[in-house]
């Protein structure tokens, strides 16, 4: 009874380990649920970790050295699936109004020596009193030639992209 298997088979220690596994699985699942709210898919490692914790929880509780309790394994698997379904339903049903949120900005450009246009973020659309725009290899926008007059333009940028 001095072995590790003997220690794990005692009721209080086994109950504590089962409780820790349930809590760890629950917290991993809650971490997994933050992704739909941010319009991102969870990473593969997060999904695998959550699934592995759920499998480890069911296996620890229903498998012993003597035998495997199939009814308990089926019950616990169903219990975890139903519990996760109840917890996850608000996150799964959360449908954002616009998966690519954009913001519009009206810019008044004072006369400067540079012909650069300032556009924060990932540009979706731009409107202004200019005839033509040029883009350099780094993505910067410029008015062709010298443009040192005051100007106005409106740009729409994607705020979900970094």
pLDDT at 10: 64
State residue 80's pLDDT score. Answer: 83
- Determine the straight-line distance between the first and last CA of the chain, rounded to whole angstroms: 57
What percentage of the chain carries pLDDT values higher than 90?
Answer: 0
What tokens were used for 121? 């973020």
Predicted local distance difference test score (pLDDT) of residue 4: 43
Strand arrangement, sheet containing 102-109: 102-109, 151-158, 122-128
pTM flag (> 0.85): no
Rounded-to-integer distance, Cα 33 and Cα 29, Å: 6
Task: Identify the bridge partners of residue 125 per DSSP, sorted by sequence position.
Answer: 156
Among 34, 22, 29, CA closest to 48: 29
What pLDDT is recorded for position 86?
Answer: 79
Average model confidence (pLDDT) for the chain? 76
Considering the chain, what percentage of its residues have pLDDT values greater than 70? 78
- Cα separation, 63 vs 96, in Å, equals 42
State both tokens at 47: 């999904």
Query: pLDDT tens digits for 13-72?
Result: 778 888 888 888 888 888 877 765 555 667 788 888 888 888 888 888 888 777 788 888
- Classify 1 as helix, strand or coil: coil
- The whole-number pLDDT of residue 3 equals 40
CA distance 76 to 58: 6
161 burial level (CB within 10 Å; 0-12, 13-18, 19+): exposed
- Does residue 87 carry a pLDDT above 70? yes
Per-residue confidence at 126, pLDDT binned at 50, 70, 90? Answer: confident
Exposed/middle/buried for residue 102 (C-beta within 10 Å: 0-12, 13-18, 19+): middle
Q: What's the pLDDT at 7?
A: 43
């Amino acid at each position: 009874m001095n072995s590790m298997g003997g220690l794990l088979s005692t009721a209080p220690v086994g109950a504590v380990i089962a409780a820790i596994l349930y809590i760890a699985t629950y917290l991993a699942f809650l971490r997994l649920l933050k992704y739909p709210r941010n319009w991102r898919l969870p990473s593969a490692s997060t999904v695998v970790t959550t699934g592995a914790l759920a499998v480890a929880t069911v296996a620890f509780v229903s498998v012993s050295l003597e035998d495997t309790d199939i009814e308990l394994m089926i019950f616990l698997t169903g219990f975890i699936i139903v519990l996760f379904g109840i917890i996850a339903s608000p996150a799964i049903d959360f449908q954002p109004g616009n998966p690519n949120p954009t913001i519009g900005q009206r810019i008044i450009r004072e006369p400067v020596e540079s012909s650069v246009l300032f556009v924060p973020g990932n540009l979706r659309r731009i409107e202004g009193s200019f005839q033509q725009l040029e883009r350099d290899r780094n993505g910067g926008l410029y008015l062709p030639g010298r443009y040192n007059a005051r100007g106005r333009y409106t740009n729409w940028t994607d705020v979900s992209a970094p």
